[in-house]
Structure 1
Amino acid sequence: MHSPTYGEVSYSKMIQIIKNFISKSPDSMYNISVGTDSQNFGYTKTVVVVAIHRVGNGGIFFYDVKKVKKITNITQKLFFETSMSLEIAIALSKALEQEKIDFGISIHVDAGENGKTSKIIPEIVGWIKACGFNCETKPNSYAASSIADKYSK
């Protein structure tokens, strides 16, 4: 994983940084979110983001970039992005549970009611909720539609 603050870190180091970040202000409220966005070039560049927001007092985030065979179908691309987010969220949830950190994780989806993907939002949201996570779509899905979007271009 990469971090603008901490540079290149391993997955276990990311968990330790998150734990330390939360321990500095244990009584604060936190939003932990995972979001993915992708852009097509000669391939599909996919960026997964893990963001920890200390409500009212900033936050930190980590991201990972993967290049995969070009996905041209927008529905398939959104399902692929969601599967990447879920994969990270499941692993993150288990790791944070072991650290006794339980703020819940929200999956941020880069889809909104006004876009080409609006018709499949109910399926995506249902899938995410069935996996035990909260779900945010545009305009509230900042981990995907803002942070991941920035690094996917």
Structure 2
Amino acid sequence: MKSITYGEVSFSGMCKLIKNYISKNKTQEYKITVGTDSQNYDITKVVIVVAIWIVGKGGIFFYDIKKVNKIINIRQKLFYETSLSIEMATKLSSYFNKDNKKYDISIHVDAGNNGASSSVIPEIVGWVKGCGFNCNTKPDSYAASSIANRYSK
């Protein structure tokens, strides 16, 4: 994973940084979100983001970039993006559960009620919730539609 604040870090390094960041702000409300976005070129560039937001105070985020064979079908692309987000959120939950830490992790999906992606929202939201995570779509999916979008271009 990469961070504009901490540079290149391993997964466990990222988790330790997240725990330290949250422990410094124990009285603050915080949100941990995972979101993925992708853009098509001659390949599909996929960016997964883990964002930690201290509500009203800003936050930090980590991202990773993958390049995969071009995914043209919007439905397949959204399901692939969501699968990566669920996988990351599950890994984060497992890591934090080892220390008996229960963090509320939400998944942000780059789909909204307007446009081609609107038809898959009920399926994707149901899938994410079935995996035990809260789910946000546009316009409330900043980890995917803002942060990941910026790095996927």
Shorter-chain TM-score tier: over 0.9
| In structure 2, C-alpha distance between the alignment counterparts of 1:99 and 1:109, rounded to whole Å | 28
| Equivalence for 1:68 | 68
Deviations 1:68-127 (A, max 9, x none): 000000000000000000000000011122233323110000000012110110000000
| Equivalence for 1:34 | 34
- RMSD of aligned residue pairs (Cα, Å): 0.8
Find the residue that maps to 2:116 and give its secondary structure. Answer: coil
Q: Which amino acid aligns with 1:19?
A: K
| In structure 2, C-alpha distance between the alignment counterparts of 1:101 and 1:51, rounded to whole Å | 17
| Equivalence for 1:89 | 89
* Identity between Structure 1 and Structure 2 (%): 64
Q: Normalised by the size of structure 2, how large is the TM-score?
A: 0.98
| In structure 2, C-alpha distance between the alignment counterparts of 1:81 and 1:151, rounded to whole Å | 14
71-80 or 92-101: which moved more? 92-101
90-99 or 70-79: which moved more? 90-99
| In structure 2, C-alpha distance between the alignment counterparts of 1:115 and 1:51, rounded to whole Å | 26
In structure 1, list runs of 5 or more residues that go unmatched.
none
Written as runs of structure 1 = structure 2, the 5 A alignment for 1:1-153 is: 1-153=1-153
Offset of 1:52 from its aligned partner? 0.5
| In structure 2, C-alpha distance between the alignment counterparts of 1:109 and 1:69, rounded to whole Å | 21
Q: Which amino acid aligns with 2:85?
A: S
